[in-house]
Amino acid sequence: MSYQTPMLPANTFQNQVIVVTGGGSGLGKAMTKYLLQLGATVVITSRNLERLTTTANELSAETGSICFPVACDVRHYEQVEAVLQTAIEKFGKVDGLINNAAGNFIAPTERLSANAFDTIIDIVLKGTKNCTLAFGKHWIANKQTKATVVNIVTTYAWTGSAYVVPSATAKAGVLAMTRSLAVEWAKYGIRTNAIAPGPFPTKGAWDRLLPGDLAEKFDMAKKVPLQRVGDHQELANLTAYLLSDFSAYINGECITIDGGEWLKGAGQFNLLDQIPEEMWDMLEQMIKAKKNS
């Protein structure tokens, strides 16, 4: 067994319906695939219906479970409501929601237009709000006794980060909403948690954020104490766990899965890991000499 091995028992999500925003590619596709393998019916959304349909057909054929594509721009509440109604009409219910749709720019903030800033806020924060509110209202109004929301955030939701200020701002809001609703909606049987992934490279997103040879120059694995980036199955395992009854007593948590990356960046003296052994020997001798003088 390794971290690349599926974790949960087969049929964990038998007869359950999960909606995944941004499910057509990247990490959304990886999470969707694993839920399908565990027996779920998964409704995937994004703005690109052609790519969604290709993904849905591929994953349905590969897993034998139903993957159903619905085009949706999460920035518009009426489109989110339409996704919910389609899922209900097709499958009778929705048991879980993964808010994964996101956008980002890597740029000095002063170079961003107000519209560019708003675009990220609208997709990440407003989009997550739209989905959570629409689905939550449905679950509460229909007295559904159990439902689960998993929000995909990032570690700079609490540390902040230069050069991705719109994303950091939006993700911080999503994290606050996650914790707030975990308390407010628990009485309705709705659990709300978040995941903060570290580097999990995906072809499309990383090519946009770090074009050309920038990905090689900024090797994310070098920032991680474990000296590697994440495997998509690791994130899929964690997401499925938080959606499942195995995590029934976990509510309002944000689980970090980053190999220790943000902690390495937070420690004041963590850059000392770049000092070679020979220099440590020299420093030790200097300290001893000073003590004996």
Is the four-CA dihedral 49, 51, 57, 63 of positive or negative sign?
negative
Average pLDDT, integer, range 134-156: 97
Q: Where residue 184 falls among pLDDT bands split at 50, 70, 90?
A: very high
Residue 272: its pLDDT value, please? 63
pLDDT above 80 (res 106): yes
Residue 117: its pLDDT value, please? 95
Q: Where residue 281 falls among pLDDT bands split at 50, 70, 90?
A: confident
What is the enclosing helix (H) or strand (E) of 281? helix 277-292
Mark residue 120 as left, alpha or beta (left: phi above 0; alpha: psi -120 to 50; beta: remaining): alpha
Tell me what the pLDDT averaged over the chain comes to.
91
pLDDT above 60 (res 238): yes
Average pLDDT, integer, range 102-109: 88
Q: Which residue's entry shows tokens 């091995």?
A: 5
Q: Is there a catalytic annotation at residue 241?
A: no
Q: Which residue's entry shows tokens 């107000």?
A: 114
Tens digits of residue pLDDT in 32-60: 999 999 999 999 999 999 999 999 999 99
Euclidean distance between CA atoms 8 and 151, whole angstroms: 20
Q: Where residue 219 falls among pLDDT bands split at 50, 70, 90?
A: confident
Tens digits of residue pLDDT in 15-26: 999 999 999 999
Residue 215: its pLDDT value, please? 57
Lowest mean pLDDT among 185-194, 230-239, 250-259, 273-282: 273-282
Q: In percent, how much of the chain has pLDDT > 90?
A: 75
Among residues 61, 60, 19, 21, which one has the least CA distance to residue 42?
Answer: 19
Average pLDDT, integer, range 58-86: 98
Euclidean distance between CA atoms 134 and 78, whole angstroms: 9
Question: Model's pTM, two decimal places?
Answer: 0.89
What is the enclosing helix (H) or strand (E) of 135? helix 127-141
SS3 label, residue 190: strand
pLDDT above 70 (res 287): no
> Which candidate in 3, 34, 77, 156 is catalytic?
156
Q: Is 167 exposed, middle or buried (0-12, 13-18, 19+ CB in 10 A)?
A: buried
Residue 216: its pLDDT value, please? 59
Euclidean distance between CA atoms 131 and 137, whole angstroms: 10
Find the helix packing angle between 127-141 and 77-91, rounded to 10°.
40
Lowest mean pLDDT among 3-17, 65-79, 89-103, 139-153: 3-17
Tens digits of residue pLDDT in 198-211: 989 876 555 555 55
